[in-house]
């Protein structure tokens, strides 16, 4: 009866205590958060779109991310680049489960490792002129530059030293070529330091100065000169910068050495000087005459006339990087005296006359010579003893610029050139002595060059013809004309109208026949037309 009476009360008390115990358990159980009224309180973390786990705050996830970055970067000496994008989705829950922080951290580390791009290693970029190469270390840079220097240092005197570039604000290195033989020893260095601290003065300084002057006044003997390479340096500015680069962008040092030391064919230009001949130029640039002719359209054969100031294309072997050096050398040599010229103002520059033939001499010399790679760029004789005097070549030469020649008609089709041919019509020569241009009757014919008209009229097979004598001794002829507008004795200027083209004399059709004579003999006029 009593139990029945309190049954409902006991049942209610039982349920209330069970709910209270359950609430307390849920409140303090690990892995659950209680509901707060501040918004999202459970966050699902994603790396590159993949779920890493859930945390109670995004700040906790970001701390894990930075720690994971630090751990991965610390395990490598390289610059590690990672493709990482962290996102999170938050939600507000009364009760929610968060993952074990260690498990979340391990997931983040694994995602970062899978997102690591190619690692960038500490390297050095070397730039010289237009050449650039990436090497793995300063030692490889020195090895590369040492190979370049050693190519021209037969004595093995010079080494390379990478130093800070004092002219640059940033951390840029450069290189010096150092003469190992001139590095002061410990005793010499100590003496130089003492002189800086305790400089010589008074009577002792004056005596040493006088003594040094007396030594300078005494002429050196040949054996007193120090011979060999005196100095060496790179002709181009060398810049070296530290950088982090992918391993794939680094070049093996042996490949870089091959690139810098192997010579490549480089196009150059030679400007013809007064007195030059094609054979002489060939010797200067060490290229066969036939090869020079093949490279220049203006040269038809090795006998083609060249003019002062004319530019000739030449191809010379050159490395990508140039080295300058100065040498002092002793020679027993056969030498030539400089050519002596006597200018003749009334002569053209194409006229010369040798009035004394040369004879080589013999001498002993010590000379200071400057080189760029293997090409000598300058020479100064420091001491000379002539054993047999050289006899100079003496040449008379003209100073007047010779006249030029132009095509005598405008347009026209080149129909028959200079040289052997089949006779085009009865009575025509099988050796054509000029150049023909097919053109309509009545085309204006002009003087190819200024001069005096020596003939104007009928010329048998030439038909109507005009001869012009020029001041350089040459003569031009214009044949098969229909009309002549000048007379013998007239002086005409270059480009002045002298006749009209036609079809007179022995001719197969309307055209102009043009000849040029040098020394009374016909030559190919196209070789002389501008």
Strand partners, 97: 32
d(CA 371, CA 377): 5
Residues 148-165: what's their mean pLDDT? 85
* Lowest mean pLDDT segment, chosen from 208-212, 379-383, 481-485: 208-212
d(CA 506, CA 395): 47
Local confidence band at 35 (pLDDT 50, 70, 90 cut-offs): very low
| DSSP code for 83 | -
Residue whose C-alpha is closest to residue 464's, from 437, 484, 486: 484
Q: In a 10 Å sphere around its CB, with 0-12 CB exposed, 13-18 middle and 19+ buried, how is residue 194 labelled?
A: exposed
* Residue 394 near residue 473 (C-beta atoms within 8 A): no
Whether 104 has a pLDDT exceeding 80, the answer reads yes
Residues 478-486: what's their mean pLDDT? 96
Instruction: Give pLDDT, residue 80.
Output: 62
> Between 132 and 9, where is the model more confident?
132
Tokens encoding 105: 């951290």
Instruction: Give pLDDT, residue 437.
Output: 93
Instruction: Give pLDDT, residue 492.
Output: 97
Instruction: Give pLDDT, residue 317.
Output: 72
* Residue 289 near residue 282 (C-beta atoms within 8 A): yes
Whether 205 has a pLDDT exceeding 80, the answer reads no
* Residue 394 near residue 516 (C-beta atoms within 8 A): no
Residues 101-126: what's their mean pLDDT? 79
Chain-centroid distance, C-alpha 515: 46
Local confidence band at 330 (pLDDT 50, 70, 90 cut-offs): very high
Tokens encoding 31: 């892995």
d(CA 456, CA 443): 18
Instruction: Give pLDDT, residue 39.
Output: 75
Q: Give the 3-state secondary structure of 97-155.
A: ECCCHHHHHHHHHHHHHHCECCCEEEEEEEEECCEEEEECCHHHHHHHHHHHHHCCCCC
Mean pLDDT of all residues belonging to the chain: 82
Q: Please tell me the pTM assigned to this model.
A: 0.51
Instruction: Give pLDDT, residue 24.
Output: 62
pLDDT digits (tens, 9 = 90+) for 298-317: 888 888 878 888 888 887 77
Whether 36 has a pLDDT exceeding 50, the answer reads no
Helix ranges (H only) for 218-295 are 253-261, 278-285, 289-295
Whether 124 has a pLDDT exceeding 70, the answer reads yes
Instruction: Give pLDDT, residue 416.
Output: 83
Residue whose C-alpha is closest to residue 251's, from 117, 118, 163, 144: 144
> Between 445 and 126, where is the model more confident?
445
Whether 485 has a pLDDT exceeding 80, the answer reads yes
* Residue 361 near residue 386 (C-beta atoms within 8 A): yes
Q: In a 10 Å sphere around its CB, with 0-12 CB exposed, 13-18 middle and 19+ buried, how is residue 465 labelled?
A: buried
Q: Both ends of the chain: CA-CA distance in Å?
A: 142
Phi then psi dihedrals of residue 361, to 5 deg: -110, 180
d(CA 137, CA 143): 10
Residues 277-282: what's their mean pLDDT? 85
Local confidence band at 243 (pLDDT 50, 70, 90 cut-offs): confident
Please state, for a pLDDT cut of 90, what percent of the chain lies above it.
28
pLDDT digits (tens, 9 = 90+) for 494-519: 999 999 999 999 888 899 999 999 98
């Amino acid at each position: 009866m009593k139990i029945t009476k309190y049954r409902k009360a006991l049942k209610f008390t039982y349920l209330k205590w069970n709910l209270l115990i359950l609430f307390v358990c849920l409140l303090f159980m690990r892995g659950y958060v209680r509901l707060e009224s501040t918004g999202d309180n459970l966050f699902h973390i994603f790396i590159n779109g993949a779920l890493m786990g859930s945390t109670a705050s995004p700040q906790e996830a970001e701390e894990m991310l930075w720690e994971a970055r630090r751990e991965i970067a610390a395990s490598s000496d390289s610059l590690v680049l990672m493709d990482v994008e962290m996102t999170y989705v938050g939600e507000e829950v009364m009760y929610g489960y968060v993952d074990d922080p260690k498990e979340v951290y391990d997931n983040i580390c694994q995602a970062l490792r899978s997102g690591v791009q190619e690692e960038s290693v500490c390297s050095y970029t070397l730039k010289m002129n237009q050449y650039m190469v990436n090497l793995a270390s300063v030692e490889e840079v020195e090895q590369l530059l040492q190979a370049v220097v050693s190519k021209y240092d037969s004595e093995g005197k010079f080494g390379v030293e990478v130093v800070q570039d004092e002219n640059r604000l940033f951390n840029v290195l450069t290189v010096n070529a150092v003469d190992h033989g001139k590095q002061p020893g410990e005793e010499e260095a100590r003496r130089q330091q003492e002189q800086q601290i305790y400089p010589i003065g008074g009577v002792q300084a004056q005596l040493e100065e006088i003594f040094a002057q007396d030594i300078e006044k005494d002429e050196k003997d040949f054996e007193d000169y120090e011979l060999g390479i005196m100095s060496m340096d790179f002709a181009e500015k060398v810049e070296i910068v530290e950088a982090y680069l992918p391993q794939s962008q680094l070049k093996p040092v042996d490949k870089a050495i091959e690139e810098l030391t192997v010579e490549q064919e480089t196009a150059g230009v030679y400007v013809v000087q007064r007195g030059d001949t094609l054979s002489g130029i060939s010797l200067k640039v060490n290229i066969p005459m036939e090869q020079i002719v093949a490279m220049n359209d203006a040269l038809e054969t090795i006998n083609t006339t060249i003019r002062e100031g004319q530019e000739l294309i030449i191809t010379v072997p050159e490395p990508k990087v140039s080295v300058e050096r100065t040498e002092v050398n002793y020679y027993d040599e056969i030498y030539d005296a400089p050519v002596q010229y006597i200018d003749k103002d009334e002569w053209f520059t194409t006229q010369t006359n040798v009035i004394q033939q040369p004879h080589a001499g013999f001498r002993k010399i010590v000379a200071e010579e400057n080189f760029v790679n293997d090409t000598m760029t300058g020479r100064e004789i420091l001491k000379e003893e002539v054993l047999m005097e050289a006899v100079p070549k003496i040449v008379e030469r003209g100073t007047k610029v010779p006249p030029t020649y132009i095509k005598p008609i405008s347009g026209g089709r080149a129909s028959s050139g200079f040289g052997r041919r089949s006779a085009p019509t009865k009575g025509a020569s099988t050796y054509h002595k000029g150049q023909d241009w097919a053109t309509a009757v009545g085309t204006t014919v002009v003087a190819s060059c200024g001069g005096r008209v020596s003939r104007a009229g009928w010329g048998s097979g030439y038909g109507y013809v005009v001869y012009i004598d020029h001041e350089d001794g040459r003569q031009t002829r214009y044949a098969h004309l229909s009309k002549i507008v000048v007379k013998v004795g007239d002086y005409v200027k270059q480009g002045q109208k002298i006749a009209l083209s036609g079809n007179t004399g022995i001719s197969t059709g309307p055209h102009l026949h043009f000849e040029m004579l040098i020394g009374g003999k016909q030559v190919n006029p196209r070789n002389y037309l501008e």
